[in-house]
Structure 1
Amino acid sequence: MDKPRFNAAMLHPRFWPTWLGIGCWWLISQLPYRWQMGLGRLFGWLSFYFARRRYAIADRNLALCFPELDAAARRQLLRENFYSTGMALFESGIAWFWPQWRLRRLFTIEGLEHLQRAKEAGEGVVLLAMHFTTLDIGAAFMNMSHSIDGMYRPHNNPVYDLVQYRGRARHSTDTAVIPRGDLRAMIRALRDGRAAWYAPDQDYGRRFSIFVPFFGIPAATVSATAKFARLGDARVIPFTQTRLPRGRGYKVTVHAPLENFPSGDDSLDATAINAFIEARIREQPEQYLWVHRRFKTRPPGAPDLYDDAGKKRKKRRPAAERA
Structure 2
Amino acid sequence: MSSQPTPLYRFLGPRFWPLWLALGVVRLLVALPFGAQCIVGRGIGRVAFLLGGKRKAIAARNLELAFPELDPAARRRLLLQHFQSLGMSVIETGICWWASDERIARLVEVSGLEHVEAALAAGHGGIMLTGHFTTLDLGGRFLTRLAPVSAMYRPHRNPLFEEIMRRGRERSARQAFVKTDVRAMIRALRTNHLVWYAPDQAHQRGKYSAVVPFFGVPAPTNTATSAFARLGGAPVIPFFPVRLPGRAGYRLEILPPLAGFPGDDPAADAARINRLLEERIRLCPEQYLWVHRRFKPAGADGEDYYGPLARRRKRRASS
TM class, shorter-chain normalised?
A: over 0.9
Amino acid of the residue matched to residue 22 of structure 1? L
| Structure-to-structure mapping, 1:65-104, within 5 angstroms | 65-104=66-105
Distance 1:15 1:63, change over 3 A: closer
Cα separation, 2, equivalents of 1:2 and 1:59: 38
The superposition leaves residues 289-316 of structure 1 with CA deviations (integer Å, 9 ceiling, x where unpaired) of 111110123355222011024765779x
Shift of 1:270: 0.9
Give 3-state SS (helix, strand or coil) of 2:36's partner.
helix
Give the residue type in structure 1 aligned to 2:308: D
Q: Which has the larger radius of gyration?
A: 1
For residues 77-133 of structure 1, give each alpha carbon's deviation from its aligned partner in whole angstroms, at most 9, with x where no partner exists: 111111111111111011111111111110000101101001111012111011111
Q: For residue 290 of structure 1, give the secondary structure of its aligned residue in structure 2.
A: coil
On the 8 A contact 2:2/2:176 being kept in 1, the answer is: no
Map 1:167-316 → 2, pairs under 5 A: 167-172=168-173, 175-207=174-206, 208-299=208-299, 301-309=301-309, 312=312
Query: Pairwise CA RMSD of aligned residues?
Result: 1.8
Residue in 1 that maps onto 2:37:
36
C-alpha distance after superposition, 1:53-72 (max 9, x if no partner): 11211111111111111111
In the TM superposition, what whole-angstrom CA distance separates every residue of 1:244-301 from its partner, at most 9, and x where no partner exists? Answer: 1111100000000001100121111111111111111111111111111101233552
Aligned residues: 313
Match of 1:146 in 2: 147
Q: Is the 8 A contact 1:60 1:309 kept in 2?
A: no
DSSP 3-state at the match of 1:246: coil
Give the AA of the match of 1:65: A
SS of the equivalent of 1:264 reads coil
Does the aligned pair in 1 maintain the 2:204–2:298 contact within 8 Å? Answer: no
Q: Return closer, same or farther for 1:115/1:283 CA change in 2, 3 Å cut-off.
A: same
Deviates more, 1:297-306 or 1:197-206: 297-306
Q: Is the 8 A contact 1:154 1:161 kept in 2?
A: yes
Unaligned runs of 5+ in 2: none
Check 1:47–1:311 CA distance in 2 against 1; reply closer, same or farther (3 A cut).
Answer: farther
One-letter identity of the residue aligned with 1:141: F
CA distance in 2, matches of 1:53, 1:13: 27
Please report how far the alpha carbon of residue 191 of structure 1 lies from its aligned counterpart in structure 2 after TM superposition: 1.4
Letter aligned with residue 214 of structure 1? F
Q: Which amino acid aligns with 2:184?
A: A
| Contact 2:295–2:305 (CA under 8 A) maintained in structure 1 | yes
Q: 2:128 is aligned with what amino acid?
A: L
Aligned to 1:321: none
Unaligned runs of 5+ in 1: 316-323
SS of match in other structure, 1:5: coil
Q: 1:222 & 1:267 partners in 2: Cα distance?
A: 9
Kept after mapping to 2: 8 A contact 1:281/1:288 = yes
Indicate the percent of aligned positions where both proteins have the same amino acid.
Answer: 47
d(CA) in 1 for partners of 2:92, 2:149: 20
Can you list the C-alpha shifts for 1:117-153, whole angstroms capped at 9, x where unaligned?
0111101211101111111111111111222111012
Partner of 1:319: none
Report the CA distance shift for 1:109/1:13 in structure 2 as closer, same or farther (over 3 A): same
Q: How far is 1:157 from its partner? A: 3.1
Q: How far does residue 12 in structure 1 lie from its aligned partner after superposition?
A: 4.7
Inter-partner Cα distance in structure 2 for 1:2 and 1:95? 19
Matches of 1:300 and 1:269, distance apart in 2: 25
Q: Aligned letter for 1:44?
A: G
Distance 2:233 2:71 in 1: 46
The SS at the match of 1:181 is coil
Partners of 1:16 and 1:214 in 2: CA distance: 40
What is residue 45 of structure 1 aligned with on the other side? 46
| Matching residue of 2:123 | 122
SS at match of 1:245: coil
Name the stretch that deviates more: 125-134 or 3-12: 3-12
